[in-house]
Amino acid sequence: MLQPAFIRDNRDLTIAGLKKKHFANAEATVDQVLTLDQQRRDTQKELDDILAQSNAKAKEIGALMKSGDKAAAEAAKAETAELKNRSKDLEETLRTVELQLQNVLVTLPNLPHSSVPEGRTADDNEVVLEHGEKPTLHVNAQPHWELIKKYDIIDFELGVKISGAGFPVYKGKGARIQRAMINFFLDEALMAGFQEVQPPIVINEDSGFGTGQLPDKEGQMYYVTEDKLYLIPTAEVPITNLYRDVILAENQLPVKNVGYTPCFRREAGSWGAHVRGLNRLHQFDKVEIVRIEKPENSYAALEEMSQYVQSLLQKLELPYRVLRLCGGDMGFTSALTYDMEVWSAAQQRWLEVSSVSNFETYQANRLKLRSKLDGKMQLLHTLNGSALALPRILASILENNQTPEGIRIPAALVPYCGFELID
């Protein structure tokens, strides 16, 4: 969440950043924030003055009573009662203004980093690099939704029977390669210095607010009405919330966590080949990395995270590209996001498999996540990334490695799954 003090000192920069993210009515909303913030500060000052007067009057009353001047003491008591009534009115006004200010602030997205390109849609994203050669498939090559039926490794119809569309059942070698990828991604993260955690897969409203899913994304999450809990859309949410209301010592930084969870997204269904099979699911598995950094180190950490995710794709022998997202295609809470996309040879298109983002202080301000740095309390920077989401990785492995004899398993996964070929 943006801080009023920052907006106050950087009005034009804030408006420009909001416009880059295509936030409607940026100027009017910023000026509304500034007006409410001024009202809040004026009210707080008046309240502080009255409380100071009340304290002074209390001392005065004591002195008058000791001196025996009861008439003057009674007059002072009347003034004190009037000050107390005024302070109660101001406290109520302050609560109202603070709530109004909060309600406007939570509607503002994070401001984009200066390197974020202009643009409104995914077509405007900047290609940073492309790695690997796109494979040439044999004549009868098929997309993964046909391959999974041919080799009987994933069953969407059983998933519909049990739950509904978007909840596949993995079977045999399909289940084993899922488990293999999870263990591979976790082991790689541990070797890269991340500490593994296993968080809950449901969150409360405070956790959803802390990382910015609420009040922005209620419609995208599954909600357990009776218990007022949400199924997580990503492990980012519970892992980052481990540090809500926490003051980290400087020697605890950086924090590097990794966790595997199933993820749940209600995403409204659409039709067409781009969402067939594993391309879009309501439940999927993902390994997530989360970092908490000193502000001056966060962008170096972001580049390091990007390189780390790329190393996983290289070990899986998948051609990929890295995109820097434009202002209009970025997430609500992100200051800078890199997307990693792998090439799907049978579909002849790029599939997003990871987003790596720096949120700067946006989440930390909501979480009240701080550290005492250079002698003063400061908000920290939070970052996270998919490392990796399984469905589209699996889709690309199946499609890119298909041969007339079967589907070849990348060498890095063979020790984990125990077979070299799906046949």
Binding-site residues = 234, 265-267, 288, 352-355, 384
Strand spans (E) along 184-282: 195-196, 202-203, 223-224, 229-231, 247-248, 255-264
Task: State the amino acid at position 417 in one-letter form.
Answer: C
| Count of Cβ atoms closer than 10 Å to residue 267 Cβ | 14
The two three-digit tokens of residue 15, written as one number: 């408006």
- Residues annotated within the binding site for L-serine are 234, 265, 288, 384
| Count of Cβ atoms closer than 10 Å to residue 268 Cβ | 6
Interstrand relation of 195-196 and 255-264 (parallel, antiparallel or unpaired): parallel
- Residues annotated within the binding site for ATP are 265-267, 352-355
CA dist 396 → 77, 130, 316, 366, 389 (Å) = 79, 16, 10, 37, 12
Contact 169, 153 (CB under 8 A): no
Q: Which helix (H) or strand (E) holds 4?
A: helix 4-9
Q: Which helix (H) or strand (E) holds 185?
A: helix 173-191
How close are the terminal C-alpha atoms of the chain, in Å? 51
